[in-house]
């Protein structure tokens, strides 16, 4: 029986699932699942993209599900586990329409559906008009081309995966991306060791897995949700198959480290907090969270959530 890969039926999700399938050989079947987010149902911003796929996994209708890591909530459904993190694509936010953020004229309309991107944009360029713009990547690009907005901010990874990298005007290094942005994850039933073994080492990138672990741990420790502007970027030991342990100058073997940056802010861009640390994924996440919470990140996140709830 072929390995059944569950995926959303959007253009980007299908490209991602096929990328995974191509690296597993011929005995693979892609199963398209329409999620609550694709139907436009009013459910939480992250769970709407993955919850239906998780139901299909638990029901045995698919063997694995492929997700964009940034869409996966911090708490997985009982009985499921993330079993592989493929090599990460560029995690940066991308500006479409201009060659740099500084080049965007004052008063220009910039489209995004992300609270985090809107908050960081308002912090850096309060003179710009942020427009909420939803839809898949091709739909948003079409709205830009039709003049509904003057510029867009999207994930660079999605554009690259769709073969639309030439639309990128600039990569916004001044933005801290969403936890997991640029990464894919493979989710399966917990305890399915045979399926897990099929992905290791064929598709699992140890360095990318460490980065994702640090970013997700920071979001969970801070108590951030999809309704609060929060960014996290970990830079791991680098390279596909990077070792989870490395040798030190003293000859001892120790866990490799990541460099982790965290960011939280208010949706209107008026206040923000950021910090960074180096350590194992768990230690770095703990250090960044403790430093940010010590200077009011918890209160800032609570206020951000209230502001979002009050938005019509």
Per-residue pLDDT at 86:
96
pLDDT for 43 equals 42
Average pLDDT, the chain: 90
Q: List, in sequence order, every residue forming a beta bridge with 260; answer none if it has no partner.
A: 234, 277
From the candidates 71, 90, 93, 275, give the one annotated as an active-site residue: 71
- Residue 312 in any domain: the answer is no
Q: In a 3-state reduction of DSSP, which class is residue 143?
A: helix
As a whole number of angstroms, the distance between CA 239 and CA 244 comes to 11
**pLDDT reported for residue 138:** 94
Are 69 and 198 within one domain?
yes
CA distance 118 to 116: 5
Number of domains making up the chain: 3
pLDDT at 243: 46
Q: What pLDDT score was predicted for residue 44? A: 43
What is the pLDDT, as a whole number, of residue 25? 84
Say if residue 213 is in the same domain as residue 266: yes
Distance (Å, rounded) from C-alpha 289 to C-alpha 261? 10
Range of the domain at 1: 1-86+184-203
Q: What is the pLDDT of residue 233?
A: 97
Q: Which residues of the chain have pLDDT under 70?
A: 35-49, 238-255, 312
Q: Report yes or no on 226 lying in a domain.
A: yes
- Known catalytic residue at 38: no
pLDDT tens for residues 252-297?
555 689 999 999 999 999 999 999 999 999 999 999 999 999 999 9
Quote the CA–CA distance of 177 and 90 in Å, as a whole number: 10
Q: What is the pLDDT of residue 249?
A: 54
Domain CATH code at residue 190: 3.40.190.10
pLDDT at 171: 98
pTM for the structure as a whole: 0.89
pLDDT of residue 308: 83
Specify the pLDDT at position 244: 47
Residue 177 lies in a domain: no
Residues 215 and 300 in one domain: yes
Q: What is the pLDDT of residue 251?
A: 54
């Amino acid at each position: 029986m072929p390995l059944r890969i569950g995926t959303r039926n959007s253009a980007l999700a299908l490209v991602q699932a096929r990328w995974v399938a191509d690296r597993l050989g011929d005995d693979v079947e892609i199963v398209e699942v329409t999620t609550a987010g694709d139907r436009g149902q009013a459910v939480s911003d992250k769970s709407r993209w993955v919850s239906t796929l998780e139901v299909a996994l638990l029901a045995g209708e698919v063997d694995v599900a492929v997700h964009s890591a940034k869409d996966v909530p911090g708490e997985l459904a009982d009985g499921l586990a993330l079993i592989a993190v493929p090599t990460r694509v560029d995690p940066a936010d991308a500006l479409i329409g201009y060659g740099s953020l500084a080049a965007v004229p004052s008063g220009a309309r910039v489209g995004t559906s992300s609270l985090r991107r809107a908050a960081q944009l308002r912090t850096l360029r309060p003179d710009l008009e942020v427009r909420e713009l939803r839809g898949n990547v091709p739909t948003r690009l079409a709205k830009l081309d039709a003049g509904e907005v003057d510029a867009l901010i999207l994930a660079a990874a999605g554009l690259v995966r769709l073969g639309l990298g030439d639309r990128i005007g600039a990569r916004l290094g001044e933005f801290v991306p969403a936890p997991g942005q640029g990464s894919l994850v493979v989710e399966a039933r917990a305890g399915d060791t045979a399926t897990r073994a099929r992905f290791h080492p064929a598709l699992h990138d140890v360095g990318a897995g460490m980065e994702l672990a640090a970013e997700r741990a920071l979001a969970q420790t801070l108590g951030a949700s999809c309704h609060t502007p929060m960014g996290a970027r970990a830079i791991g030991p680098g390279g596909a198959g990077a070792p989870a342990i490395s040798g030190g100058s003293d000859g001892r073997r120790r866990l490799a480290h990541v460099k982790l940056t965290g960011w939280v802010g208010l949706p209107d861009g008026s206040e923000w907090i950021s910090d960074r640390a180096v350590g194992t994924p768990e230690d770095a996440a703990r250090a960044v969270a403790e430093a940010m919470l010590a200077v009011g990140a918890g209160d800032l996140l609570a206020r951000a959530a209230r502001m979002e709830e009050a938005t019509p």
